[in-house]
């Protein structure tokens, strides 16, 4: 018997390749972690420390399910990303031990209401409603860390309706996976179940209803969703 006064919400989770579910605690996202994307958004990547925002754990969309076109936007953008899943955490994790906290990886989409994000930037307001809306995080199957022995190398690509829209390589990450974990753990205590969307390469653009998004990270796998 629990002492909750209403039924507790479901535990968010993402499916693992080969079976099982990875329980999700928090979903962190890195902003502007590829130089060419920072430049396309009007920033100088050489002058910035990494920065972070969050999505709710229950905004993840799994199993190649459809993504409803969200309300209050006319500019829904795709951001194709490598997602890191942590099996342990801590505070002030050194770069040289950071990778020991990684359980595995997935391909994910940081879907963004760009018009709301841009309005928030201009007004100096939080990005939450631009980034953390319902169904804003389609994500593919999680694979164990051994599938990607070098997390800083490998093709990352997104096709929309069969046409390549984003293509880059994990070697273009400004802050490596280890550096990202280390830096973030200086801001918040990381724990098992945390996910980190590591940022998107250049080529972000608007999606419309009916678009089929198919992302791929070499060594990791795919993410697929249809905007409905
Ligand atoms: Mn992003």
- For 152-184, how does the pLDDT look when each residue is reduced to its tens digit (9 = 90+)? 899 999 999 999 999 999 999 999 999 999 999
Ligand 1 centroid vs 17 CA: distance in angstroms?
24
Portion of the chain with pLDDT greater than 70, in percent: 100
Mean pLDDT of 52-72: 98
Numbers of helices and strands, H then E, in the chain: 4, 16
Ligand 1 centroid vs 81 CA: distance in angstroms?
7
Q: pLDDT band for position 44 (50/70/90)?
A: confident
Mean pLDDT of 218-227: 98
Say how far apart CA 81 and CA 29 lie, in whole Å.
10
Q: Output the pLDDT for position 38.
A: 87
pTM: 0.97
Ligand 1 centroid vs 160 CA: distance in angstroms?
17
Q: Are 83 and 139 in contact (CB under 8 A)?
A: yes
Ligand 1 centroid vs 7 CA: distance in angstroms?
33
Ligand 1 centroid vs 3 CA: distance in angstroms?
38
Task: List Cβ neighbours of 97 (8 Å cut-off, separation of 6 or more).
Answer: none
Ligand 1 centroid vs 16 CA: distance in angstroms?
22
């Amino acid at each position: 018997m629990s002492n909750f006064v209403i039924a507790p919400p479901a535990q968010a989770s993402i499916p693992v390749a080969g079976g099982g579910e990875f329980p999700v605690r928090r979903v962190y996202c890195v902003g502007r972690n590829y130089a060419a994307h920072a430049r396309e958004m009007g920033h100088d990547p050489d002058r910035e420390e990494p920065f972070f925002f969050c999505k709710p754990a229950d905004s993840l969309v799994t199993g190649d399910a459809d993504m409803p076109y969200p309300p209050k936007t006319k500019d829904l953008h795709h951001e194709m990303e490598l997602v890191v899943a942590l099996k342990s955490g801590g505070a002030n994790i050194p770069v040289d031990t950071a990778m020991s906290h990684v359980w595995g990886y997935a391909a994910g989409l940081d879907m963004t209401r760009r018009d709301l994000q841009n309005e928030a930037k201009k007004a100096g307001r939080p990005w939450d409603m631009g980034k953390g809306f319902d169904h804003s995080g389609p994500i593919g199957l999680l694979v164990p860390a051994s599938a990607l022995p070098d997390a800083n190398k490998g093709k990352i690509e997104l096709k929309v309706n069969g046409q390549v829209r984003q293509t880059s390589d994990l070697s273009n990450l400004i802050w490596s996976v280890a550096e990202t974990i280390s830096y973030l753990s200086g801001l918040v205590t990381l724990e098992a179940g945390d996910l980190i969307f590591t940022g998107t390469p250049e080529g972000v653009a608007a999606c419309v209803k009916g678009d089929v998004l198919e992302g791929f990270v070499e060594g990791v796998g795919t993410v697929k969703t249809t905007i409905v």
